[in-house]
Amino acid sequence: MDVAEAVATRRSIRAFSARPVPFETLYRVLDQARLAPSGCNYQPWEATVLMGEPLRLLQERLAASEQDDPLEYEFTAPGQLEKYKSRLRALGARMYGAMSIGRDQTDTREAFRQGNIFSFGAPALLLCHFPKLMKEPQWSDVGMWLQTIMLLLRGEGLDSCPQEFMGLYGKTIKDQLGLANDVVLFCGLSIGWRDTNAEVNTFERERVPLTEQITFLGFD
């Protein structure tokens, strides 16, 4: 598929099939993603990719672990402003509505949320990490690298789900992977094939109008 189609069809998949991901395909995608841009060509991104037994062992440990306290970084700050909080509420309403899970079904909602630990059944998990000395510009570079990976995965027919949720267990994950404490565990990226029958993968995604985010100057 072309780039525009990859952008249009990429979405955060929260129900994967058991179909395995060929290592050769995953390696090819990550090798191509090395060409992602980065300021000063620092290429600050690093990652560990798990499948099979290593992935199962990590998931078992996370399921038996508590979240970090304190967290190594905060990703919910935008929720302090109503503009962004309303977008989060709209996402939750559409996502849980697609699964017919009501607001009062707190146990069911929490069980679905805990599905993050198992990457929603994805057969492969990329865990993104980098040295803590990296600042905001380098975090931005890492985001561009991850987006490049997600679009290349779509080009292969694969799907993904970026998971900042994994940052809630950063210290546990770093210990499991043997990473030093001067590294921050940024996020996970679940990789696999979407379950096309799962309602959670089909609800309509909301995006704000272009004119709400972009100002054009100097155009006739």
Domain boundaries, position 67? 3-75+119-201
Q: Order of strands, edge to edge, in the sheet holding 124-131?
A: 46-51, 124-131, 183-192, 159-163
| pLDDT tens digits for range 12-33 | 999 999 999 999 999 999 999 9
b/e map of 184-217 (b: 16 or more CB within 10 Å)? bbbbbbbbbbbbeebebbebeeeeeeeeeeeeee
Would 129 be classed as within a structural domain? yes
Determine phi and psi for 74, rounding to 5 degrees.
-110, 130
pTM of the model: 0.94
Would 125 be classed as within a structural domain? yes
| pLDDT tens digits for range 168-213 | 999 999 999 999 999 999 999 999 999 999 999 999 989 999 999 9
Q: E strand or H helix at 192, and its extent?
A: strand 183-192
Would 59 be classed as within a structural domain? yes
Would 160 be classed as within a structural domain? yes
Determine phi and psi for 10, rounding to 5 degrees.
-70, 135
Q: Are 149 and 160 in contact (CB under 8 A)?
A: yes
* Percentage above 90 pLDDT, the chain: 93
Predicted confidence at residue 1, as pLDDT, reads: 85
Would 138 be classed as within a structural domain? yes
- Which CATH number does the domain housing residue 160 bear? 3.40.109.10
- What average pLDDT does range 111-137 have in this prediction? 96
Would 108 be classed as within a structural domain? no
How many structural domains does the chain have?
A: 1
Would 30 be classed as within a structural domain? yes
Would 91 be classed as within a structural domain? no
Spatial distance between the Cα atoms of 78 and 133, rounded to a whole number of angstroms: 23
b/e map of 40-55 (b: 16 or more CB within 10 Å)? eeebbbebbbbbeeeb
